[in-house]
């Protein structure tokens, strides 16, 4: 996956999960691992994820790398997203 394709995924995440802001560290992580991932596979995993979770996906959850371990991959799924996202304040 190219860096532009990774950015497209990140934009989709913020569109689908508007109450969350992606941390700078997470963006750097996505861009750092993007060359090891396949765009179509990540995109289809993301589509499945949005149907099943009210929380944004973690890099580890979307990773398509073979045999690599990413930070937060051993966390409980509900909490792993907290390493990569900040809740956005809702408008009043």
Whole-number pLDDT of residue 58: 84
Domain of 9 in residue numbering reads as 3-87
Structure confidence by residue, pLDDT tens digits, 69-88? 444 444 445 456 556 666 67
- What percent helix, strand, coil does the chain show, rounded to 5? 55, 5, 35
- State if pTM tops 0.85: no
Structure confidence by residue, pLDDT tens digits, 17-49? 988 888 888 888 888 888 888 999 999 999 999
Whole-number pLDDT of residue 81: 57
**CA of 59: how far to CAs of 20, 89, 92, in Å?**
15, 23, 31
DSSP state of 27: H
Concatenate the DSSP letters of all residues of 63-82 into one string. ---SS---TTTTS-HHHHGG
Give dist(CA 20, CA 10) in Å, integer: 11
Give the count of domains, the chain.
1
Whether 92 is covered by a domain: the verdict is: no
């Amino acid at each position: 996956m190219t860096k532009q394709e990774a950015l497209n995924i990140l934009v989709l995440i913020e569109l689908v999960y508007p109450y969350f802001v992606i941390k700078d560290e997470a963006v750097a992580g996505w861009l750092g691992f993007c060359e090891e991932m396949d765009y179509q596979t990540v995109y289809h995993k993301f589509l499945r994820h949005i149907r099943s979770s009210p929380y944004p996906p973690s890099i580890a959850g979307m990773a398509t790398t073979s045999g690599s371990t990413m930070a937060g991959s051993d966390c409980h799924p509900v909490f792993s997203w907290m390493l990569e996202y900040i809740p956005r304040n809702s408008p009043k």
